[in-house]
Structure 1
Amino acid sequence: MKEINDIIKAYDEAQQKGEQSALATVVHVAGSSYRREGARMLITEHGQLTGAISGGCLEGDALRKALLAMAQQRPMLVTYDTNDEEDATIGLGLGCNGIIQVLIEPIDAARSGNPIALLKAVASKRQYSVLVTLFSLHDKRAVQPGTCMMVTADGCIANDSIPLKDMLIKDASLVLHQQQSLFKELEFESAPLNAFIEMIPPSVALIIVGAGNDTIPLVQMADLLGWQSTIVDGRPEYAKAERFTAGCQVLLSKPENLLDKISIDDHTVFLLMTHNYNYDMAMLPVLLANNVVYAGMLGPRKKRDRMLQELQDKGISFTPTQLSVLHSPIGLDIGAETPEEIALSVIAEIKAVLSGKKGSPLAANNSPVIHSRAVLKA
């Protein structure tokens, strides 16, 4: 979501300057690539790039193609074959061994359903969204419909001229239900048409209970990732917004009142970092009873075990499923010592948990590809 928000901001700035812009989107990958389907980059007529579609090897040529697309006011599909070590276009011999399809769409600000308008609709609410992008792999010279529909559980925004609209709404609803992007080939007016039906989850909401100095690098790193951070503390002298980044929300709250102020979804994670045993013990049963996906607690294993035992003595027990989301001590074992290193360890563990990964070295992965396949084919 951070990339989308950055692109929206860059587009608005370009509009204020009266500059044209185009959106480049990776819509299909065969084999390996640095970025997967859904990677985006905004390109302005003066060459400003926001976002990325590769590790840097495709951006220069994409800029040239985008300037052409803006001049012609016509979307184009560009193929990059990184299997070819002699490819003069890529020219870096990266050996990614993949074929990458990039759709470049000039943005018409006067059209209400343009790609940036749809991205703004995605970013406007904290919910799962689906973007539908249509293109033709069979005939790159054909008209490329482009990014044309946004679907959420509570509605649909689509271009008036979108082909096969009803069928695509059904496919988008299925993607919402399965929470898995889909690549599909459609028959349209005797010619095949390809659809990238992309699931976009909301940003991670990081709730840190405790406003000590060791939370500051955590918030800074979360901000770099585009996560939405909220700091909660019952001490007025600590719960001050000026101590944290501008995008961080700071709440003064007692533990029993916290959930009255926060909405929880499956991208909401909690960290207990109060350095206050009683406050943490008051919060822990509240979090575990609400089926959060991740609850990390600062401190040694001995603290966790003692706390759970005291809660059990009070008649408060938890199921194995509830306990499985409790991570204490928090973080991956990277030898972290300083607050900044601990923050890196914790952020990495949260990312691994949300991605369903173990946080092990990539070198230990025997799979031929680094990225797991994010898009199903139908």
Structure 2
Amino acid sequence: MKEIIDIVTAFDQATKQGKKTALATVVMVEGSAYRRAGARMLITEDGNLTGAISGGCLEGDALRKARLVILQQEAMLVTYDTMDDDDAKLGVGLGCNGIIHILIEPITDELDNPITLLKTVVDNGSNAVLVTLFSIENRKALQPGTCLCLTQRNVIERKLNKSGYRQNLINDANKVLSTQLSEINIYTGEVAYTAFVEHIKPVISLIIVGAGNDAVPLTKIAAVLGWNITVIDGRNNYALPERFPLAKKVIIAKPDQLLSQVELNEWTAFVLMTHNYNYELSLLQELLPLHLSYIGLLGPKKKMEHILTDLEENGMKITGEQLNNLYGPVGLDIGSESSEEIALAIVAEIKAVLSSRNGLSLKYKPVAIHASAQ
């Protein structure tokens, strides 16, 4: 999602400067590649790049083709075969061993251009689906490109009637919104089209409870990832916006006032680092019944055990699911000592949990790193 946010921001800046742009999207990968389907890059006519479609080996050639797309105002499907010797000689085979299909679209002045759909995803704040339609078999046919955005609230479509597969695409987008699993679908007819039906996850919302000095590096690392950060503390001399310039919100609140001031969803992660036992005891009494995906508690394991015992003695029944979603001590075991290293361990654990991964070294992963779209 951060890449999409960066592209939207860069497009707005380019528009203000009167620059023409094109959008390059990795729409399908056969075999292995540095970036998977869904990777995007905005290209301006003067060569500025935002986002990435590879580890750097494809960008130069994509820039040249994007300038042609901007000039002709027609979308172009480009295929790089990094297993081919000729492509390797051009320098596009570094670190890859697959076939990469990239669609390059001109961004016109029309209100329903592809960036409009990306903006809808950014503003949505929840799960969304983007559909990119292209023809591999007939590269001279109309390449509709980024043509549909589906959210829980609405659907925005462009060029679908010309493709002839409008209802199929809407049905498939609804399916992906439900399963939250991207798909590659093929539609046969007068023109055979392939659709990349992409599930877009919302931005992770990180709520840091505790505005001490050790919370500062946590906000910095989370901000690099583009997370939506809120810092909360009951002390008005700590919860100051100037101490946390990267946070979207800085709130002064007691435990019983906190939940009314934040929005929660399945991508919300809490980290409790107030160093105040009673504050965190009261807050966990509020948080545990909400079945949040991640609640991290800074401090030794004995502290967490004492809090859980006190909660149960106060009449709270703690379920197995609630315990599974409570991470204390917080963070992955990477040998952290400093506040910066602890912040790194926390962010890595949150990312692993919300991605349903175990946080082990990729060296020991028995299958491919990336799950393939169907």
TM-score between both structures, scaled by the size of structure 2? 0.97
Q: Secondary structure at the match of 1:87?
A: helix
Aligned partners of 1:338, 1:52: CA distance in 2, in Å?
Answer: 32
- Gapped regions of structure 2 (runs ≥ 5): none
Q: Which residue of 1 aligns with 2:136?
A: 137
Aligned partners of 2:353, 2:256: CA distance in 1, in Å?
Answer: 26
Q: Secondary structure at the match of 2:15?
A: helix
Aligned partners of 1:338, 1:17: CA distance in 2, in Å?
Answer: 44
Aligned partners of 2:237, 2:102: CA distance in 1, in Å?
Answer: 51
**Aligned residue identity for 2:217:** P
Cα deviations by residue, 1:327-350 (Å, 9 ceiling, x for unpaired): 000111111111111101110011
Structure 1 runs, 4 residues or longer, greater than 3 Å off: none
Aligned partners of 2:211, 2:282: CA distance in 1, in Å?
Answer: 17
Deviation, structure 1 residue 246: 4.0
Distance 1:298 1:274, change over 3 A: same
Q: Does 1:63 align with 2:44?
A: no
Deviation, structure 1 residue 82: 1.4
Aligned partners of 1:4, 1:88: CA distance in 2, in Å?
Answer: 29
Q: Which residue of 1 aligns with 2:166?
A: 165
Q: Which residue of 2 aligns with 1:148?
A: 147
Deviation, structure 1 residue 171: 1.1
- Gapped regions of structure 1 (runs ≥ 5): none
Deviation, structure 1 residue 363: 1.1
Q: Which residue of 2 aligns with 1:108?
A: 108
Tell me if the contact between 2:41 and 2:50 (Cα under 8 Å) persists in the aligned partners: yes
Q: Which residue of 1 aligns with 2:182?
A: 181
Tell me if the contact between 1:135 and 1:193 (Cα under 8 Å) persists in the aligned partners: yes
Deviation, structure 1 residue 84: 2.5
After TM superposition, list the pairs within 5 Å mapping 1:285-304 onto structure 2: 285-304=285-304
Tell me if the contact between 2:144 and 2:159 (Cα under 8 Å) persists in the aligned partners: no
Q: Which residue of 2 aligns with 1:19?
A: 19
Aligned partners of 2:188, 2:257: CA distance in 1, in Å?
Answer: 55
Deviation, structure 1 residue 204: 0.1
Aligned partners of 1:8, 1:285: CA distance in 2, in Å?
Answer: 40
Q: Which residue of 1 aligns with 2:276?
A: 276
Tell me if the contact between 1:228 and 1:247 (Cα under 8 Å) persists in the aligned partners: yes
Q: Secondary structure at the match of 1:177?
A: helix
Tell me if the contact between 2:204 and 2:228 (Cα under 8 Å) persists in the aligned partners: yes
**Aligned residue identity for 1:101:** H
Aligned partners of 1:85, 1:335: CA distance in 2, in Å?
Answer: 44
Aligned partners of 1:102, 1:160: CA distance in 2, in Å?
Answer: 19
Q: Which residue of 2 aligns with 1:328?
A: 328
After TM superposition, list the pairs within 5 Å mapping 1:189-204 onto structure 2: 190-204=190-204
Cα deviations by residue, 1:99-153 (Å, 9 ceiling, x for unpaired): 11000001002x1211001111111121111111110011222221111111111
Deviation, structure 1 residue 88: 4.8
Q: Which residue of 2 aligns with 1:256?
A: 256
Q: Which residue of 2 aligns with 1:267?
A: 267
Cα deviations by residue, 1:203-250 (Å, 9 ceiling, x for unpaired): 000001111110111101111100000001111111111101244310
Aligned partners of 1:328, 1:307: CA distance in 2, in Å?
Answer: 11
**Aligned residue identity for 1:98:** G
Distance 1:339 1:6, change over 3 A: same
Q: Which residue of 1 aligns with 2:315?
A: 315
Aligned partners of 2:234, 2:138: CA distance in 1, in Å?
Answer: 62
Aligned partners of 1:155, 1:120: CA distance in 2, in Å?
Answer: 13
Aligned partners of 1:260, 1:248: CA distance in 2, in Å?
Answer: 17
Q: State how many pairs are aligned.
A: 372
